[in-house]
Structure 1
């Protein structure tokens, strides 16, 4: 799908830079590889969940659920692991290293056309929560995605959801995917460094990275998709993104465990909808604020509109995602996707009842 020769050096530099990401990401890679299968249903049931960046605000419900004690309350022993990009969480799930992944819903469509049955069981969001940031150096040249031609555009990883959305914004605005260069730069310090050094002209990232860039005056917002309104303007509809997705066979054979996970996550989403960003920030690990709790709370505040209150897939959301992917992804463009098999509301509806 990508021109590997052209990207090899860029991807390598991005992967080297990923070593400076949070320690939890480094720990996750080793822990996940040594993982064991989940135990049977019942009290203390062990479940491993890989998150595409535990400290990203878009995936905040994962750690928050653990911090609130909701997994324990359901009799679950949940181990949260972290990788810098959602595509790596997808890989861990499909390979059987983990039982669940917290990442973008769009991976379920991509995997279906590759013959893998995966479904979203709790939908955290109805907007991407992503922001396209342009560097100060390139701000005069990039006024909209129409100006992406010939530019180096940062994404968390090649094949990631940020990569998908970047290519869609290009195609939607008359720029061919072959005319842009996606560069894998991760998130956090590695993304910011790439922006400041000029390794990328612009890039797609999330909070708290966005808040840090703006505080440092290292770049400017080009497209803001942290709200349903922003998603609609950029993508033409609600874009369900952050979710808990799992292999369909595992869901069907562990319904009791999946229901407990849904109960815990829905309780968290409801809690988030009735508490302030500062209160949410107070519940998170201290190192997530990187020494500036006020800035971290502001990052959460900016992203809160993307979250659902009940974990239910938004109406017309899957159709928007399919439209976006079909615009540039040749595998999906020429395939019949059965959207009904990419998500289920069976568990969240019982949890909200």
Structure 2
């Protein structure tokens, strides 16, 4: 973690070199508020690392990569931290570029279902609806990847763009979706609370991949 935080901080600082006597505001948006891999931003703010280098960080969070790309396009943020699949928006013309890779295989991402769900294994996910943050997001890519790797075809798993945690929790409770793809630490926490269960990590279905970029 210390090395990760240091590298993350160096890149953000390099994006805005300012005189030591002046604090420059840098607006940084996270694709989602709750991913552990994005916490270096919060740690850097709370420990004063950015302030020490003349940066005033204005942090914000979105409900997925697509929303964050809209923030970059509308000039609402200067830097975005999101999923690797979000780089596809740049190919489609989004006025942004990736400057750093933060993580490889998505070991911290997982599929989870309601605690009392009849879904017990990965095979039980065939034909089911999994909630994701937005279209074109890391979570949507993972859902499609699992279906492809299992040989179920493009319709093997239906991904439903639903946003962040509050709507996802409500949708699972009301059976609008069968499961949700998000960070594994969230799933473990809700499993301990007997609300959700983790079915699988995304790692077994992905080999070479860039999970997070900014």
Determine whether 1:169 maps to 2:139: no
Q: Distance in 2 between matches of 1:224 and 1:93?
A: 30
Note if contact 2:184-2:198 (Cα within 8 Å) is conserved in structure 1: no
Task: Spell out, residue by residue over 1:224-272, the C-alpha distance to the aligned partner (whole angstroms, 9 max, x if none).
Answer: 14xxxxx2x32123x322232xxxxxxxxxxxxxxxxxxxxxxxxxxxx
Note if contact 2:31-2:63 (Cα within 8 Å) is conserved in structure 1: yes
Larger mean CA deviation between 161-170 and 211-220 belongs to 211-220
- For 2:212, the equivalent position in structure 1 comes to 242
Note if contact 1:54-1:63 (Cα within 8 Å) is conserved in structure 2: no
Could you tell me which of 138, 141, 147 is aligned with 2:118? 138
3-state SS of paired residue (1:64):
helix
Report how many aligned residue pairs link the two structures. Answer: 196
1:175–1:147 CA distance, 2 compared to 1 (3 A): farther
3-state SS of paired residue (1:177):
coil
- For 1:155, the equivalent position in structure 2 comes to 132
- For 2:100, the equivalent position in structure 1 comes to 122
Note if contact 2:27-2:57 (Cα within 8 Å) is conserved in structure 1: yes
Q: 1:93 Cα deviation (Å)? A: 1.1
- For 2:158, the equivalent position in structure 1 comes to 181
Higher strand share: 2
Note if contact 2:112-2:179 (Cα within 8 Å) is conserved in structure 1: yes
Q: Distance in 2 between matches of 1:98 and 1:130?
A: 25
3-state SS of paired residue (1:120):
coil
1:115–1:181 CA distance, 2 compared to 1 (3 A): same
Note if contact 1:104-1:243 (Cα within 8 Å) is conserved in structure 2: yes
Q: Distance in 2 between matches of 1:58 and 1:199?
A: 28
Q: Distance in 1 between matches of 2:201 and 2:184?
A: 11
Determine whether 1:58 maps to 2:29: no
- For 1:70, the equivalent position in structure 2 comes to 49
Note if contact 1:48-1:98 (Cα within 8 Å) is conserved in structure 2: yes
1:116–1:191 CA distance, 2 compared to 1 (3 A): closer
Q: 1:167 Cα deviation (Å)? A: 0.9
Q: 1:178 Cα deviation (Å)? A: 3.3
Q: 1:40 Cα deviation (Å)? A: 8.4
Q: 1:132 Cα deviation (Å)? A: 0.8
Please give the TM-score of this superposition, normalised by the length of structure 1. Answer: 0.50
Q: Which runs of 5+ in 1 are unaligned?
A: 1-37, 226-230, 245-353
Q: 1:89 Cα deviation (Å)? A: 1.1
3-state SS of paired residue (1:200):
coil
Q: 1:175 Cα deviation (Å)? A: 2.0
1:40–1:126 CA distance, 2 compared to 1 (3 A): closer
Alignment of 1:294-305 (within 5 A): none
